[in-house]
Amino acid sequence: MASRPFAASASHVVRAPGRVNLIGEHIDYCGLPVFPMALRQSLRFAFHPRSDREARLVNRDPRFAPCAFAVNGSIPPAPVGDWGNYARAAAQALAQRFPDLRGVDALVESDLPIAAGLSSSSALLVAVALAIMHANGVSVPSLELMELLGKGERYVGTAGGGMDQAIILGARAGCASRIDFHPLRLTPTAVPADWQFIVAWSLVHAEKSGAAQQAYNERTRQCDEARRRVAARLGRREDISYSDLLAAAPVEELLEVAGERTTLSGVLARRFRHVVTEGTRVPQAQAAMAAGDFAAFGQLLDASHQSLRDDYDVSHPELDRLVELAREAGAEGARLTGAGFGGSIVALCRVERAPEVVAALRERFYAPRGAADDVGRHVFMAEPSAGAEVIRA
Ligand code: NG1
């Protein structure tokens, strides 16, 4: 008997958005606040419950082969880089909390660019978790679920912070959200109607399950080491957090101590400087948005990019070029967004100025690289959107 097309038999669909981080880059794993928003672009996960433990996922994108595994508390991973590991990560995290979960059959489709620094992988992880919970009639309070999935994603080998899972689950339409950690808290701020954030892809894939993973994890270790050494030099407890360090001493004093050769090597001092300066930019950016202070927000974006490029070494010449061109075309500020090493930039301009900025990027960045015809896919207006939800198919 011919089986019905899957989309027709799915009972529910999870919509899980991507995200663009406006500011607060590479500091979520240091426990410092970040300021992202969710995008309209999203992953859709059509599913129906199975009666056994199997999870079977088919992706409409032919680059991703079907994936199947049994939902339990210890799921063997597929080889590094396999997309299905994000699904396994979600299933394992939930199964460790709820025994005897049934699986789902699912069809995945997405209009989120892959490896572009916009969290397509965390969107999949969140979608799988919401689908499995729905299929089993179980729930986890929202903040707890964000934390559970933030830790759960480490299954794939990246020592990530919790920003992506938190914003994908907790975003509010029309707003960016400041996310604080320990304890986790989301504070939405309305994006002013005449501000336009533009996202532009550098054409360089930033595969965080590939080469960039090592570089990413190395940054997390360096931040930890720098924090411990500065704490020791200040006579503080070794396990003091970055937020407590920032509350204990003015940034200038922290930077002075970190800059002493006996405290930190050159590289660690630069990593430390990025973390503490970025940590102070986030509340300033949130206040600037709340006050509608466009120029101040733009300056903070520029300062963040410089710090990520010069102190944190996570930029790429193509990201730097895009930032430069966006600024020359009239953007008020621009920076790389997400983990870097490729991926995308985010630029801020007035709504009416956006077409000019896009036209300039097309002519000066994409055309010389033979990608002018695809500008519609590579550049888009970021619309602050709501978090993930389960809807009836
Ligand atoms: P992306 O851009 O999705 O690779 C990663 C981390 C975030 C955060 C940013 C840098 C994961 C799932 N995501 O995001 O937690 O550290 O880099 O700010 O590890």
Confidence of residue 393 (pLDDT cuts 50, 70, 90): confident
- pLDDT value, residue 135: 97
Give the relative orientation of helices 142-152 and 84-95 as an angle to the nearest 10 degrees. Answer: 130
Percent of the chain whose pLDDT exceeds 70: 97
Conformational region of residue 23, where left means phi above 0, alpha means psi within -120 to 50, and beta covers everything else = beta
Residue 325 has pLDDT above 70, yes or no: yes
- pLDDT value, residue 81: 87
- pLDDT value, residue 7: 57
Confirm or reject: Cβ of 26 under 6 Å from ligand 1.
yes
Atom 19 of ligand 1, nearest CA residue = 160
The answer to whether residues 368 and 325 touch, using CB atoms and an 8 Å cutoff, is no
Task: Kindly give the number of the ligand 1 atom that is closest to the alpha carbon of 26.
Answer: 18
Confirm or reject: Cβ of 270 under 6 Å from ligand 1.
no
The answer to whether residues 339 and 304 touch, using CB atoms and an 8 Å cutoff, is no
The catalytic residue among 28, 82, 105, 164 is: 164
* DSSP H/E element including 74: none
| Average pLDDT, integer, range 246-263 | 94
pLDDT in tens, 107-147: 999 999 888 889 999 999 999 999 999 999 999 999 999 99
pLDDT in tens, 339-380: 999 999 999 999 999 999 999 999 999 999 999 999 999 999
Q: What is the pTM of this model?
A: 0.96
Q: How many other C-beta atoms are found inside a 10 Å radius of the C-beta of residue 310?
A: 12
CA nearest 200: which of 16, 364, 83?
Answer: 364
Give the Cα separation of 166 and 161 in Å (integer). Answer: 10
